[in-house]
């Protein structure tokens, strides 16, 4: 990797530890692709119509699914929370419009495996009445960062660049972590996708406002917006918005338009020359990275009280009659979106969510738009021809040359095919960003990324099973400990009760004396009955006294009238 000279960019109050490069570095690997963005940028952003029925999935992000808060028949308002988070890595879900909940159940959702998932179905009432969300902060830049993080979480904001990681987690550096650099990712590198560029051109102030809010929340000491050099209109709009606001401490730096320049680790390297540690996070080197769409969503939530209920989606490809960028409510069926773009052309062959490199094919256009839907691509066979049949790997090494993560795709492929999931992790499988460069250049037409995704899924499943087994083992051990403890407690109670029943020594002596006296009395009475009347010579003085007393009582009884 060629080293470039850092620029002197002074920071207020503290010496900087992360420096920006004067000339962006070229990250390793990657591919030069035809951008094909012009067809969707012919018009400004269009507002998509709200459909009569919306299907809102309970899980639209990385992390745990949410739990529905509404039932069939409930009336909801636009922006009302309809599903809550149950864990830290999660994000609540809100009603995209006002209407009535007609069902809460399982429906097909956008997924690489074509799975179904829990959804809340809302029938729109056509009024689009807004709820009082309580998200707006009167003076957001004076607010406590903890309050900002909570509002971001309550707004259900996740990363809109495609990954869908909950934003509230990324704006929480944690104790003892200092953020030197906040990077705003505007490098929209995949072909066809232009939703970020359209957003920057139409609403640059939302982007700038969101940057200020996130910077305040993470205490970043410097901010840079990284953008590809093939987006001149967006660059001009950003620079104009920054100059109008007299923003001298936010830099706009262009990076070469080489795929995948928009990858988080690749953009960080291009701007700073620093590498994120293997299986590490940017925060490990004092950097936080957010997408421009995410920053705009943060501004809309905290400054205008709008939770994440819509996003800008690129609808493009030769299979679409009127390509463009539309602001779409979450839960809108893709078919409705296609219809608002003029419908399909005659030669349409494939429907893809995402771009041609990292997207996945959809089995139907009845699936809903979700928070991570940045692009709907309808292509012809001429645009995206089906790959020829795969043949055996010829070990040419081209996949390793283009890998931006500096991995060994051949080794990963062989171990994934052999289901050797222990060995494949030795080759840093989870550093793969699934950009598709290896598959793109493979002369054997091997679906390499599919193998990597399969291996990751299997490892996650095995890890989940291991965790469940550990939980079951811990529960069994806890039960055994509880039973043993209860047994010991029962034995202790029995011993205590037995001890309580055992007489003390003084009580025993008194009882013994009482028994002895009773025996003496019985013995005296018996002796008195066996002695001839009047003969008391063989009796003890005590027995004689008792006999005399008894005689007196009998005599007195006879003398009574």
Span 269-295, pLDDT tens digits? 999 999 999 888 899 999 999 999 999
| 423-459 per-position pLDDT tens digit | 999 999 999 999 999 999 999 999 999 999 999 989 9
Average pLDDT, the chain: 89
pLDDT tens track for 449-465: 999 999 998 998 898 88
pLDDT (average), residues 510-514:
74
Question: Please, are residues 442 and 452 in contact by the beta-carbon 8 Å criterion?
Answer: no
Taking the C-alpha atoms of residue 54 and residue 27, their distance in angstroms, rounded to an integer, is: 42
Q: What is the mean pLDDT of residues 321-350?
A: 95
Q: Contact, 190 vs 150, CB < 8 A?
A: no
Q: Domain-by-domain residue ranges, the chain?
A: 17-32+134-306, 390-501
Per-residue pLDDT tens digits for 71-93: 999 999 999 999 999 899 999 99
pLDDT(330) > 80: yes
Share of the chain above pLDDT 90, in %: 72
Contact by Cβ (8 Å): 255, 228? yes
Distance of CA 65 to the CA centre of its chain: 8
Residue 391 has phi, psi (to 5 degrees) of -125, 180
* Tokens read off for 424: 């494949």
How does pLDDT run across 106-137, given as a tens digit for each residue?
999 998 877 899 999 999 999 999 999 999 99
Q: What pTM, to 2 d.p., does this model score? A: 0.81
* CATH superfamily for domain 17-32+134-306: NADH-ubiquinone oxidoreductase 51kDa subunit (3.40.50.11540)
- The sheet with strand 375-380 has its strands ordered as 46-47, 324-329, 310-316, 375-380, 348-353, 360-361
Say if residues 340 and 328 touch (Cβ distance below 8 Å).
Answer: no
């Amino acid at each position: 990797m060629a080293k470039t000279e850092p620029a002197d960019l002074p920071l207020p109050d503290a010496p900087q530890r992360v420096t920006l490069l004067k000339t962006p570095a070229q990250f390793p690997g990657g591919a030069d692709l035809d951008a094909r963005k012009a067809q969707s940028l012919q018009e400004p952003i269009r507002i998509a119509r709200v459909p009569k029925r919306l299907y809102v999935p309970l899980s639209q992000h990385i992390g745990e699914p949410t739990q529905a808060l509404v039932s069939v028949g409930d009336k909801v308002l636009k922006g009302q929370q309809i599903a809550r988070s149950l864990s830290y890595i999660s994000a609540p879900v809100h009603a995209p419009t006002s209407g009535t909940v007609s069902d809460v159940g399982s429906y097909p959702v956008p997924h690489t495996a074509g799975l179904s998932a829990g959804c809340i179905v809302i029938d729109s009432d056509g009024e689009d009445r807004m709820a009082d969300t309580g998200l707006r902060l009167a003076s957001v830049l004076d607010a406590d960062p903890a309050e900002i993080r909570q509002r971001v979480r309550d707004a259900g904001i996740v990363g809109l660049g495609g990954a869908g990681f909950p934003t509230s987690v990324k704006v929480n550096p944690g104790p003892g972590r200092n953020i030197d650099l906040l990077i705003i990712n505007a490098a929209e590198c995949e072909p066809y996708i232009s939703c970020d560029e359209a957003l920057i051109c139409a609403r640059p102030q939302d982007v700038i406002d969101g940057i200020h809010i996130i910077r305040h929340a993470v205490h970043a000491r410097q901010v840079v917006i990284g953008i590809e050099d093939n987006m001149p209109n967006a660059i001009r709009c950003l620079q104009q918005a920054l100059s109008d606001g007299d923003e001298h401490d936010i830099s706009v730096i262009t990076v070469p338009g080489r795929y995948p320049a928009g990858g988080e680790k690749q953009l960080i390297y291009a701007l700073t020359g620093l590498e994120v540690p293997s299986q590490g996070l940017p925060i490990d080197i004092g950097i936080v990275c957010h997408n421009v769409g995410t920053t705009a969503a943060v501004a809309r939530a905290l400054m205008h009280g709008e939770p994440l209920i819509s996003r800008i989606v690129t609808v493009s490809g030769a299979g679409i009659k009127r390509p463009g960028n539309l602001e779409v409510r979450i839960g809108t069926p893709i078919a409705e979106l296609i219809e608002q773009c003029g419908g399909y052309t005659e030669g349409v062959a494939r429907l893809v969510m995402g771009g041609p490199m990292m997207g996945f094919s959809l089995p139907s256009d009845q699936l809903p738009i979700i928070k991570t839907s940045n692009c709907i691509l309808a292509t012809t066979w001429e645009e995206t021809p089906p790959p020829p049949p795969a043949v055996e790997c010829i070990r040419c090494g081209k996949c390793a040359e283009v890998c931006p993560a500096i991995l060994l795709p051949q080794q990963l492929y062989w171990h994934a095919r052999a289901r050797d999931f222990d060995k494949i992790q030795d080759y840093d499988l989870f550093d793969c960003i699934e950009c598709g460069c290896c598959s793109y250049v493979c002369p054997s037409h091997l679906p390499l990324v599919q193998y990597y995704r399969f291996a990751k899924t299997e490892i996650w499943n095995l890890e989940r099973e291991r965790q469940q087994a550990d939980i079951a083992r811990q529960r069994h051990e806890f039960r055994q400990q509880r039973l043993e403890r209860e047994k010991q407690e029962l034995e202790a109670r029995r011993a205590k009760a037995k001890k309580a029943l055992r007489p003390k020594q003084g009580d025993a002596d008194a009882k013994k004396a009482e028994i002895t006296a009773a025996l003496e009395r019985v013995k005296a009475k018996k002796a008195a009955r066996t002695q001839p009347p009047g003969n008391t010579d063989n009796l003890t003085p005590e027995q004689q006294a008792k006999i005399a007393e008894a005689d007196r009582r009998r005599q007195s009884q006879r003398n009574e009238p």
